[in-house]
Structure 1
Amino acid sequence: MSQTTSPEYDYEVAVVGGGPAGASAGVFCAREGLETVVFDRGRSSLKRCAHLENYPGFPAGIDVGTLYDLLHDHVERAGCPIVPDMVESLRRPDAGDGFVVDLQDGEPVTARRVVAATRYDGSYMRGLDDEDAMFETTEHDGETTESFDRGYPNHDGTTPVPDLYVASPSEGSQQAIVAAGRGARVARKVITDARVDAGWWPAVAEGVDWVRREAELDDEWDDRETWGEWFDEYYGEDAPVDVDSDRYQRVRAAVLDDRLSSYIGPDERASRAEAGQERLASHLDPEAVVAGCDGRELLDAMDDDVIAAHLDGEAGPLGVNADGE
């Protein structure tokens, strides 16, 4: 269901932090159609890692710089801008819901919802709730330190502060893949809440984001009327509104649109597979690929123009030309 941002806010969702948790949250929210922004210019625990060896999909591991570039490329391709600025504080506006996001360099922006996704620092959330609830004090070697209480958010990322969600720091998010999963889970809750605000009811608001093979649709399920009967059977009886109401019909139509658009045919599948390979290849270092024992197979997946430009000395490691373009 495509969402639109209220004119009262610059963004529907502001994500603080661009590591695995923040990038994952940004991708999910942006793909839902929520106007989303990621702010990323702080300390990153991922960048402190020498080499990441347990992130699925990279059998020999992956250097952190490449993974970081891939994460941010994915976020931006989903339609979510990444702003290289540090969030100094969050505060409530004088009236109404939402947040004012104060930035170190840029002008403040407003957001309907905020996802905190910074691994180490939660100080920018001070003032949104009682500090004894949000922060904990610890003593070590005679020194007293105060840090964000990782037990403060609920399992789904919600907090006592309405519309504030925490993906990180949180308990159990020390590993990059765990943090990415946490960001996705929290984003799903953000999407559910946004749908409820748009008139959906909880039973139908928890959707999925995936595409399926068109061949899975037989003649019966290729018909929108069949999907409508399915919706009425599963959600109509317990719906909190009358099935003939505009609200019910609007939500029903949105759900059917989502379901039917999630099926793609073989040509579209092939096109997306090719685009995915080319996008991935654009992040590979041609010198490292050529030097590898499987270099020829990897080169087949890379864009021919990029490889040719590199071999001619016209491109750098990531396929940029001498002018940096």
Structure 2
Amino acid sequence: MTDTEPDPTREHTHDVVIVGGGPAGCSAGVFCARGGLETVVFDRGRSSIRRCAHLENYLGFPAGIDVETFYDLMHEHAETAGCEVLPDLVESVERTDDEEGFRVTPQEGEPVTARRVVAATRYDGEYMRGLDDDAAMFETRERDGEERERFDSEYAGHDGRTPVEGLYVASPSDEADTQAIMVAGRGARVAHRVVADARIDDGWWEDVADGVDWVRREAELDDEWADRDRWVEWFDDYYGGDAPVDPDSDRFRRIRAAAVDDSLSSYVSPETIDERAAAGQEALAAHLDVDRIVAAVDAETLLDHVEDELIRERARELDTVEASE
């Protein structure tokens, strides 16, 4: 064993390895990392989206966005969510000796191991050869009078699962994966499946493992639902009857506690909403040209904005004084 090989007696170095740092890979990475999985994204730096001259149909950018800025924002989002993004090309993915995970070998860096791997790159898929019967994973097509093999885009199911346990495919897929927003959606769907499967490995069952990643306003919690016991009661009523787990077991109680914690933590205060809104705009502004921002904002709009900020700041000061009295 070389110095660069992971110690096979240790736990996997990551929960999830994602091969590809384009829209599919970064989207999958965000959801996996936010789902509590230690995630690494390998990006060879040549995502197919870079062939696009200007991205014009990605929702949220009315005038479009230049590809380099979009690319940087994708990677920053993945890293902010908790992913490690490595600029390296994956050469091979192999089963570990115990068949409980995968060994991922990049071109330049050290090999890593992971319980799950998500393929999220449109290039030929050679790095996966040998994980399954090649006749199932690859298809032969004739082009220019020559027969050529390529990864079968229909190999994975709708949710990215494949016949190889722990291997998922976000791209290529049988869906149209030439539009960035559709590819990102595919990555999110596959990651949703990955997170659910990881929870099932931890004792959850299918119905309750299928969680939702969002936050809600704290004001929506009325007196009844602000009480943790009410959530416990709801969980027992909703899942207890059909759960494939004894409702009196330690496993059921453990999963119930985790699910209730997830539900309650999804409600955020007005202060947190304001903080996150400001952080989101600041993160976006960091990628924008200052001169263009100034040129796009007329003087009257700028003065109105400053006045509104002063009013909000004064309101915060008054709230602080009242709270201290």
Report the equivalent of 1:308: none
Query: What CA distance in whole angstroms lies between the structure 2 residues aligned with 1:120 and 1:244?
Result: 50
Selected match of 1:235 from 227, 234, 239: 239
SS of match in other structure, 1:90: strand
Query: What CA distance in whole angstroms lies between the structure 2 residues aligned with 1:295 and 1:121?
Result: 53
Give the paired residue count: 296
Letter in 1 for 2:135: D
Report the equivalent of 2:323: none
Offset of residue 137 of structure 1: 1.4
SS of match in other structure, 2:238: helix
Query: What CA distance in whole angstroms lies between the structure 1 residues aligned with 2:261 and 2:251?
Result: 15
Offset of residue 220 of structure 1: 0.2
**TM value normalised by structure 2:** 0.87
Letter in 2 for 1:76: E
Selected match of 2:261 from 254, 257, 264: 257
Query: What CA distance in whole angstroms lies between the structure 2 residues aligned with 1:294 and 1:192?
Result: 48
Selected match of 1:15 from 15, 18, 22: 18
Report the equivalent of 2:71: 68
Deviations, residues 271-297 of structure 1 (Å, cap 9, x unaligned):
111111111101112233234466996
Runs (5+) with no aligned partner, structure 2: 1-8, 307-325
Q: Check 1:212–1:11 CA distance in 2 against 1; reply closer, same or farther (3 A cut).
A: same
Q: Does 1:122 align with 2:125?
A: yes
1:45-64 residue pairs with structure 2 within 5 A?
45-64=48-67
Letter in 1 for 2:97: D
Q: Does 1:105 align with 2:108?
A: yes
Deviations, residues 254-281 of structure 1 (Å, cap 9, x unaligned):
0000000000111111111111111110
**TM value normalised by structure 1:** 0.87
Q: Does 1:180 align with 2:188?
A: no
Query: What CA distance in whole angstroms lies between the structure 2 residues aligned with 1:213 and 1:39?
Result: 35
Query: What CA distance in whole angstroms lies between the structure 2 residues aligned with 1:138 and 1:104?
Result: 28
Letter in 2 for 1:190: V
Are 1:88 and 1:103, in contact at CA under 8 Å, matched by a contact in 2?
Answer: yes
Query: What CA distance in whole angstroms lies between the structure 2 residues aligned with 1:265 and 1:164?
Result: 39
Query: What CA distance in whole angstroms lies between the structure 2 residues aligned with 1:150 and 1:111?
Result: 23
Offset of residue 122 of structure 1: 1.0
Selected match of 1:226 from 220, 227, 230: 230
Report the equivalent of 1:313: none
Query: What CA distance in whole angstroms lies between the structure 2 residues aligned with 1:275 and 1:298?
Result: 20
Are 1:289 and 1:295, in contact at CA under 8 Å, matched by a contact in 2?
Answer: no
Q: Check 1:297–1:210 CA distance in 2 against 1; reply closer, same or farther (3 A cut).
A: farther
Report the equivalent of 1:283: 287
Offset of residue 241 of structure 1: 1.8
Moved over 2 A (4+): 287-301
- Among all aligned residue pairs of Structure 1 and Structure 2, give the percentage whose two residues are the same amino acid: 67
Q: Does 1:77 align with 2:76?
A: no
Q: Does 1:216 align with 2:204?
A: no
Report the equivalent of 2:149: 146
Letter in 1 for 2:184: A
Selected match of 2:167 from 164, 168, 191: 164
Larger Rg: 2
Query: What CA distance in whole angstroms lies between the structure 1 residues aligned with 2:46 and 2:129?
Result: 18
Runs (5+) with no aligned partner, structure 1: 1-5, 302-325
Selected match of 2:99 from 93, 96, 99: 96
Are 1:13 and 1:112, in contact at CA under 8 Å, matched by a contact in 2?
Answer: yes
Query: What CA distance in whole angstroms lies between the structure 1 residues aligned with 2:128 and 2:241?
Result: 42
1:15-54 residue pairs with structure 2 within 5 A?
15-54=18-57
Report the equivalent of 1:317: none
Are 1:91 and 1:100, in contact at CA under 8 Å, matched by a contact in 2?
Answer: yes
Offset of residue 7 of structure 1: 5.0
